[in-house]
Structure 1
């Protein structure tokens, strides 16, 4: 047992060092599951951006057509 430390601290120190070393290795080198999850999130965000752009474009075109049609009706009447 280490001098000047409580028994529980002396017992937990090697485990803490091993956990710290494992967590650092995980941070440095992500596994296949982490890369796959990141790729899925990236694809989802990209697809959402394309869908949003398409919906915005269609709604703007419809708005232009509606406004354009209403101005023509006013001129004719």
Structure 2
């Protein structure tokens, strides 16, 4: 994960999924609200999903019940 200053999580996702599917997956997995989703298909064929959360990112470990969640630069 990165982009903590924008309250955004970044995921590598399957190239075949769309923004709506990414949003629904994040809502279901983490039980958090999503403001918006952007995606980017890289030149190497990977797709990144940028998910902006409605809650503050620092609250996510408390929501998940774990403090082991750490951002990757």
Q: Which has the higher helix share?
A: 1
TM-score relative to the length of structure 2: 0.21
From the CA coordinates, give the structure whose radius of gyration is larger.
Answer: 1
Structure ranking higher on relative contact order (CA contacts 8 Å, 6+ apart): 2
